[in-house]
Amino acid sequence: MLGAADIADRALLPALGQAAAAEPLAIASRDRERARDLARRHRVERVHPDYDSLLADPEVDAIYLPLPNALHRTWTLRALEAGKHVLCEKPLALDAGQAEEMAVAAERAGRLLMEALMYRFHPRMRCLRASLEGVQIRRLEAGFTFRLGREGYRLRPELGGGALLDVGCYLVDLARWLLGEPERVAAVRHLGPTGVDLSCSALLGFAGGAVASLYASFDAPEHQELTVVTEGWMVRQPFPFTAWRDPEDPYRLMVEAFSRAALAGEEPPLPLQESIATLRVLDRIRAA
């Protein structure tokens, strides 16, 4: 665990504690006391004094990287150079160019690199996608919003903050997963006092006339929902982030899929080209 972020405490360390084919072995953080606390509560054996020391640990096979967005590229490259597999928190990078560089580094190192988009591993999402095979989708609406305080790395532009990268990446990836690559992109955003987007609305147009309406925000009450409208029916369901934290924990399923692929020397269960393509659309939304 390269960093002691809240997502590591709430989701990944519990998932690692229950996952098959994986064991939480070591953690490092700039905050040594927080690292010790996480290690104690989640039964992690080792606390390293810094990130470099953890990367030098020969018994560590893989790194989960929950650092702020602007640090994903740097520490992924260093972890790959140290011979570690990397499960990197979303978004994989700040833009598609960085992600392509990281993919080249993973191939050169012969190690697994995967973006931690856990929702793709939830059985309900997989079932929904399977049910839409061959079905003409007319409209997709997806929103992920929550109220954020006026402090923290998510509001710092130099750390890659903003609602689009933080939660909008889920929505764009979902639209691509169900509809393919958009032909047209339009967007509106609202900037906060620090210069990052507090909210972003995007409209994506696809071949055949399908439209995806996406809304990511730090300025609205917590809400996560997906609506899909086809020629013959409509489905509305929660997006699997908090509402679906059930026995089919998508974080555990993601960790297990990643670990099996790493142990077998296989390709990542979520291909890097998928993550790069999502970042290309995020780049287009920013440009729009």
Query: Which residues are tagged catalytic?
Result: 90
SS3 36: helix
Contacts of 113 (CB under 8 A, 6+ apart): 76, 80, 85, 86, 88, 102, 103, 105, 106, 268, 272
Nearest to 226 by CA among 149, 122, 156, 148: 122
Give the pair of three-digit tokens for residue 85: 């597999």
Give the pair of three-digit tokens for residue 107: 């191939």
Rounded to whole angstroms, the Cα distance separating 114 from 121 reads 13
Nearest to 172 by CA among 281, 264, 74, 14: 281
Q: What is the CB neighbour count within 10 angstroms for residue 209?
A: 10
Q: At which residue do the structure tokens 């609506």 appear?
A: 227
